[in-house]
């Protein structure tokens, strides 16, 4: 199982800001190890963020994103105590989903 994401969500004046740090190695498949062998590709390729079960952001991610990707965005709506769920899937089929309450 992968490490949990660090998620912060806060609302002010009707706008919610979400900040996410995804714990993932994000290997491109082009880097070599100490023995000269290629390290297999392993990266997040799908990302979804939901606010109270409604999708507010979804996207495709690729191998060119850095290790432990950081994402920040804002959306209209959200109230203190509402649930934010961030989910991802990688190219090996592994998934992770974490949630936080808006402050």
Say if pTM beats, i.e. exceeds, 0.85. yes
Q: Write the CA distances from 56 to 20, 28, 52, 78, 96, integer angstroms.
A: 14, 28, 10, 11, 18
Q: Residue 49 — very low, low, confident or very high, per pLDDT cuts 50/70/90?
A: very high
Within 8 A by CB and 6+ apart from 89, the residues are 44, 45, 46, 95
CATH classification of 6-101 is 2.60.40.10, yes or no? yes
Over residues 12-19, mean pLDDT: 97
Burial of 83 (0-12, 13-18, 19+ CB in 10 A): middle
The gap from C-alpha 87 to its chain's centroid, in whole angstroms, comes to: 6
Domain extents in the chain: 6-101
What's residue 1's pLDDT? 55
């Amino acid at each position: 199982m992968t490490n949990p994401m660090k998620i912060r969500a806060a609302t002010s004046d009707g706008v919610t800001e979400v900040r996410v740090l995804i714990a993932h190695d994000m290997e491109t498949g082009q880097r070599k190890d100490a023995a000269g062998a290629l390290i297999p590709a392993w990266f997040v390729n799908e990302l979804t963020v939901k606010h109270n079960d409604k999708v507010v952001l979804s996207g495709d991610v690729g191998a060119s994103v850095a290790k432990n990707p950081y994402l920040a965005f804002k959306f209209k709506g959200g109230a203190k105590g509402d649930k934010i769920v961030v989910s991802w899937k990688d190219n090996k089929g592994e998934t992770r989903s974490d949630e936080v309450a808006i402050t």
